[in-house]
Structure 1
């Protein structure tokens, strides 16, 4: 009992097990306190590495080169399940490899939680728990702490007198949250001991925590009492809250000052007056104590200043309700740069974390990062920053993930204001799971969710289905009436029926400046070829067959020509619709969903230089068919257009979204809750009692971007060629694929096979990295920066070797 047991080693010595378990326990408990589970977090941290008290692990830490890997997490998980804390046990069992499927209770083998636990218990005296119980560790955990530990909390609840489907949903989300708190606490303490990063936001917190626990006692292996640990954990939580509130208060003052500049500006134009009405209302609602945490909508037309108004509400609301941060969720990466730039200009770079794959700091090696880059890279691990700007993919996939890296941030989503920008883009095949996750965050984790859009989807029935209380009131923040929205009207939408592609090209050629958005890349390339015959310089094509680097360069050229009054005819796929700040006098849009048509309309007369009557958006259909996933949207649009003359009116938008939510494969479903199209991959049924908590299975199924496309990397001159050469040589580091992202063109399997069959691409990377086979374009004649990858031209002739 006098021996000292060690958890890890570094260049400056050894960390005792007592120090690591105490620090991790207090951190995890403090993080879990934000959603009312301090004891569970503390328990998880105190026992998560209990197996490190085994002789096998101590031999390994003394001589790692001659000792095999040792399972050091099963022992703590066993102790917890023995004492009736199954959810905490699952979090502990997965804190390295991730949350496993629970499995069946009789399993003795396999990768499931049950298989692992049963195998360990059947080992008898040889199991890690028995080794840890030989008097080598004194945890001082009172039985009352285990009794407080989280039991299964889900069950049959009633809604309007009707029983709900029995579900483990709440238990599984709570397990992920506890898992998040544990993983973050574990990783923070490990980093604190090994590298002591002073640029880590939590550095002072870690120093203060260690001082509270007593550095000498920890280093000498003296475990603090449960009471002392609990008090230290609670003090850490209070310190975290105070720091978060200080940050929110500072940013709230900044946005108030910025708002006053707008509100007090003299000689405002009529549209400016309306924008100020929205901003003033958002500020007023944000500071009104009667508007507590919950679910809100913010419905305001394009051009009304939604971005600034929504962040003003979010910060004021966070300050009023003592919330910790604002998370801005954006559907497309094409919008994020613009939003991040706005926020950085107002609040400064230190307050804003852009978390998406193409954020500049994500494309750098650590040796190339400046202080801001490094702070952002660290904050991206756990979202400990006052304003996070991220994608819907990152946000929702993290909530349904089982991986340590994805889940580590989850506990910092609790007690946040979450703004869902362009809320109408929530993916229909995953709509019910997304709504269920939002509901859980609002009901049980103290968060506020704001659905922010110009075209508010009709989601009331889905929220009624998800909330425990049944029917829920969703207050609208915007002050605008239908007449007010008319003041922002900038275009007239007109259906022109079927138009042949050649005739459409002729019509586009009659305009000096025009945007045409079509549904397929093939149609876009065909129309561009026709337009370029008469004016190659003034014609542009934008599709995902171009790499992002070329699209960004082309967009810059398009803006310059529009601003200079030069000829500018652009044919694009839908990638131009969301958030691209560009302004055409006339637009054409192939039939699709009404929300997408309105987004295209947002690129027409954007600055309001012309009247709505002369700024036309023509909606057409043409030959060539459409992708199956668009059929439901087109059917809903046609039904709406046949019954509403004004397609931008609120009642038309409501009708459209009701049609979307009630259509399944083009047919009317009998009722909303039976519509499988809203949970295409059966995510919610996997939370039923009889499914036994399949964490890994759910994570595998829940992929918002789940297409079988494969990236082909284009070796554009300079950086593109250099990165492709690095990939070809197998010189792969952490950031290579992020850097290569802007030189990638994603192609379908049949197109990939065609390119392979004619030797147009080079396969590289087999067995050299975690990625699947990677492909580099070999034939430069198949790629044009102005047109993209020419898949139909791939032949065996002229292959570049």
Structure 2
């Protein structure tokens, strides 16, 4: 009787176990070759399902086949033992975890003990090995660890952590692809285009874009930044920095660097990661316009929690749904949360894409937004990827943090895209800073001043403060000139449409006053002659200034940094102490009236050095680094947290989208009845806002109805401009 690996597909064909093991081996070997671990990855693919060779498992498959149910018999131990006996050490955990996730080193040791001698699984393990070896004797011949690992480990003990993750990814992806090929009856070859093939297409499209644009006074400096990026791309692989002021064309310059560097070094992929979903969507649109040509295979994969991959498939872009499983695309635009939480995860589906990072360029945009507490493990991971896995990293930001003063990078020098950035910052200094802090204005004084400006942006530190200032500006604004609001109290669709409306008012030079939270600062392409910014850390002040005189069409814009006097507001002078803590005091050491301006690169460097010292950045990631050295993958996944979980999502359909209420209500009912969340959650995202977690039992108690998990339905008031507002309305929409 032939040994089976999977039950019959739609054509009635069963998947022979030998065919599955060899198919997985070939793919895993190819993926592992990219980082010098092809033999090891291939062997692990060869043995990963050997445990299916027992009579009990084979009989179980035949019983489960009519209902397409689960076999329910463990099959991981046999391949795990073979991998350990082959000298693959911690890589044996790849086989044991290929369904349930990577386990800790002690956990793996216990499972190996259960697989040998008089252990719980010893008899079935030996039966499986004997039966499979009769038809596939090569399972008994293993390669040992890759030869380069010993020297690399002496240089960087954490190389073993990353190697296990990368090989795990290669084997999991190979296994899933081979299984899918059997189920679908269709081969899934890799994407036919590599990043190294796209540089000329990008440059041609860029030239056409420039020809169609209206000239701007900053075009010369944008061209300089782009030329420096393309020139730097000829350098060796490693870690690069792109410091350039806001509005200097970093998005296109970073793409130009990445694609030309990929061509220079024969790299297959570019991954662009940005911290905010709105910027991810914006950047993906830019790159699609420059890289996707009619008649050519799609090149840009946009992958984040806000993208509805089922809708993409329904619209004829099924490739995007498939490519998102394993980042099989030459150009990927994602979020830093998705990138780094995958790198530090332990689950197969989250890690499946990681092997695609080998031999790639990773562009990290707006790197000042990386969380301080996670910097040491993040930079350590990036260092290992660049040193041993063929990765080049580009750190792009107008406010470059002093990352190379921290321990993971302290012994190397950054490769600078712009060697002397200060003259560029001086040329592109398009604003004057004014400090309105002593005496501090009241909220009403601020609102009266803002209301008197024809076109003005005010950035607040909290949603409560932004709603209050917006209300006051509306009261003091003369005539019919619009006053708009932006915050996460508005559902995502409402925010997107408001940003588009403001951008159009900017474009036509129509007066508008905008009151926003920080969400407007990173990469949102708005332009005002006057910007007011609540006192915040230096990088936030400069990011706000990036929305002032952005196009350089005025001689100078004005950025006013304010602190509100304590009054009947939110209990903080400008909400900053609550949000930013000690960072405000460190900012005051370097920036302010009579001190440096926030766009001074040298002062920013000193600010970051002091900030990292005072906030003990070096110690914050110590537990994660120790868990990585110990091979404790579950502990690493538990400790690594890109975003503090201090808010909850709430679903609300404002009156402006009333036609959607029936559909959204049906989705909420389905979720409450236990329907799988997946695509249903994606359908809800345009109608989600966020509220502080404490509101659930605090000031919004009774207005937030549980749906599933941390998701709530909002049944309170929704202002047509400001979004969710706390009131006593308790009548459900659905």
Paired with 2:431 and 2:52, the residues of 1 have a C-alpha distance of 68
Output aligned runs, 1:530-609, within 5 Å: 530-535=472-477, 538-609=482-553
What secondary structure sits across from 2:137 in the alignment? coil
- Structure 2 counterpart of 1:113: 108
- Structure 1 counterpart of 2:51: 51
**Conserved? CA contact 1:263–1:276, under 8 Å:** no
- Structure 1 counterpart of 2:705: 762
Matching residue within 770, 774, 777 for 2:711: 774
Output aligned runs, 1:227-626, within 5 Å: 247-258=194-205, 271-286=218-233, 288=234, 291-348=235-292, 350-359=298-307, 361-362=308-309, 364=311, 366=313, 369-372=314-317, 374-462=318-406, 465-466=407-408, 471-478=411-418, 481-497=421-437, 498-535=440-477, 538-612=482-556, 615-622=557-564, 623=566, 624-625=571-572, 626=576
Q: Could you report, residue by residue, the CA deviation over 1:178-234 in whole angstroms, capped at 9, with x for unpaired residues?
A: 100000000010011110346x453xxxxxxxxxxxxxxxxxxxxxxxxxxxxxxxx
CA drift of 1:282 comes to: 2.1
Paired with 1:76 and 1:150, the residues of 2 have a C-alpha distance of 22
CA drift of 1:119 comes to: 2.8
Matching residue within 89, 104, 123 for 2:119: 123
- Structure 1 counterpart of 2:142: 145
Q: Structure 1 residue 693 and structure 2 residue 689: aligned? A: no
CA drift of 1:641 comes to: 1.1
How many matched pairs? Answer: 704
What secondary structure sits across from 1:653 in the alignment? helix
Paired with 2:163 and 2:699, the residues of 1 have a C-alpha distance of 47
What secondary structure sits across from 1:735 in the alignment? helix
Paired with 1:455 and 1:8, the residues of 2 have a C-alpha distance of 53
CA RMSD, Structure 1 to Structure 2 (Å): 2.8
CA drift of 1:72 comes to: 1.3
- Structure 2 counterpart of 1:215: none
What secondary structure sits across from 1:302 in the alignment? coil
CA drift of 1:591 comes to: 0.8
- Structure 2 counterpart of 1:746: 690
- Structure 1 counterpart of 2:669: 728
- Structure 2 counterpart of 1:99: 102
CA drift of 1:421 comes to: 0.9
- Structure 2 counterpart of 1:11: 10
Paired with 1:356 and 1:44, the residues of 2 have a C-alpha distance of 30
Q: Could you report, residue by residue, the CA deviation over 1:21-71 in whole angstroms, capped at 9, with x for unpaired residues?
A: 001011111100100011111110111000111111110121115985111
Output aligned runs, 1:171-182, within 5 Å: 171-182=160-171
Paired with 1:511 and 1:403, the residues of 2 have a C-alpha distance of 53
Q: Structure 1 residue 785 and structure 2 residue 726: aligned? A: no
Flag the 1:99–1:785 CA change in 2: closer, same or farther, 3 A. Answer: farther
CA drift of 1:91 comes to: 0.4
Paired with 1:702 and 1:324, the residues of 2 have a C-alpha distance of 28
**Conserved? CA contact 2:430–2:552, under 8 Å:** yes
- Structure 2 counterpart of 1:683: 624
- Structure 1 counterpart of 2:605: 654
**Conserved? CA contact 2:114–2:122, under 8 Å:** no
Flag the 1:363–1:752 CA change in 2: closer, same or farther, 3 A. Answer: farther
CA drift of 1:555 comes to: 1.9
- Structure 1: runs of 5 or more not aligned: 104-111, 159-166, 203-239, 766-771
Flag the 1:723–1:402 CA change in 2: closer, same or farther, 3 A. Answer: same
Flag the 1:370–1:400 CA change in 2: closer, same or farther, 3 A. Answer: same
Paired with 1:92 and 1:783, the residues of 2 have a C-alpha distance of 51
**Conserved? CA contact 1:401–1:407, under 8 Å:** yes
- How high is the TM-score relative to the length of structure 2? 0.90
What secondary structure sits across from 1:358 in the alignment? coil
Flag the 1:172–1:432 CA change in 2: closer, same or farther, 3 A. Answer: same
Paired with 1:560 and 1:263, the residues of 2 have a C-alpha distance of 20
Flag the 1:89–1:152 CA change in 2: closer, same or farther, 3 A. Answer: farther
Paired with 1:426 and 1:492, the residues of 2 have a C-alpha distance of 28
Paired with 2:710 and 2:285, the residues of 1 have a C-alpha distance of 35
Output aligned runs, 1:660-679, within 5 Å: 660-664=611-615, 675-677=618-620, 679=621
Paired with 1:662 and 1:125, the residues of 2 have a C-alpha distance of 52
- Structure 2 counterpart of 1:40: 40
Output aligned runs, 1:204-219, within 5 Å: none
Q: Could you report, residue by residue, the CA deviation over 1:478-499 in whole angstroms, capped at 9, with x for unpaired residues?
A: 2654233222111111212122
Q: Could you report, residue by residue, the CA deviation over 1:293-347 in whole angstroms, capped at 9, with x for unpaired residues?
A: 1111111112222211221111111111111111111111111122111111111
Paired with 2:214 and 2:640, the residues of 1 have a C-alpha distance of 51
Q: Could you report, residue by residue, the CA deviation over 1:418-449 in whole angstroms, capped at 9, with x for unpaired residues?
A: 11111222211111111011101101101101
- Structure 1 counterpart of 2:178: 189
**Conserved? CA contact 1:99–1:403, under 8 Å:** yes
CA drift of 1:761 comes to: 3.1
CA drift of 1:274 comes to: 2.4
Paired with 2:386 and 2:122, the residues of 1 have a C-alpha distance of 45
Flag the 1:312–1:101 CA change in 2: closer, same or farther, 3 A. Answer: same
CA drift of 1:712 comes to: 1.6
Q: Could you report, residue by residue, the CA deviation over 1:328-384 in whole angstroms, capped at 9, with x for unpaired residues?
A: 11111111122111111111170101111112x436285xx2332x10111111111
CA drift of 1:417 comes to: 0.8
CA drift of 1:261 comes to: 5.7
- Structure 2 counterpart of 1:645: 596
Flag the 1:276–1:147 CA change in 2: closer, same or farther, 3 A. Answer: closer
